[in-house]
Amino acid sequence: MKRYYSSRELAGLLAVNESTVKRWSDMGDIECIRTRGGHRRFALQSILRFVQENKMEIPELATREFAQQELRTNLVAGNTDVLAPKLRSAALVGGLADALSILRAGLASKPDVLSLYEDVVFPVLQQIGNDWAAGSISVDQEHLASQTIRDAIVRLQSSLHHEPLTGASALLACYEGESHDIVLQCVASYLSVKGWKIYNLGQNTPTKSLVEAIKRYKPSHVVVAAILVEHERKFVRDVNHVIVRAAHRAGGKLVVGGANMRSRFGDRLKADLVSESMRDIEAIIAAHRKRA
Average of pLDDT values for 28-52?
A: 92
Amino acid letter, residue 59: P
pTM more than 0.95: no
List phi, psi (to 5°) of 255.
-115, 125
Q: Residues 248, 263: contact at Cβ < 8 Å? A: no
| Start and end residues for every CATH 1.10.1240.10 domain found in the chain | 57-161
Confidence of residue 292 (pLDDT cuts 50, 70, 90): low
Domain 57-161 sits in CATH at 1.10.1240.10
Stronger pLDDT, 245 or 260, i.e. the higher one: 245
Domain 1-55 sits in CATH at 1.10.1660.10
Average of pLDDT values for 90-115?
A: 92
Q: Quick: pLDDT tens for 138-166.
A: 999 999 999 999 999 999 999 999 999 99
Write down the mean pLDDT value for the chain.
92
| Start and end residues for every CATH 3.40.50.280 domain found in the chain | 169-291
Superfamily of domain 169-291: Cobalamin-binding domain (3.40.50.280)
| Start and end residues for every CATH 1.10.1660.10 domain found in the chain | 1-55
Question: Cα–Cα distance between 229 and 219 in angstroms, integer?
Answer: 25
Alpha helices in the chain (DSSP H): 7-14, 18-27, 44-53, 59-63, 69-76, 84-92, 96-109, 113-116, 122-134, 139-156, 182-193, 207-217, 232-238, 244-249, 261-265, 280-291
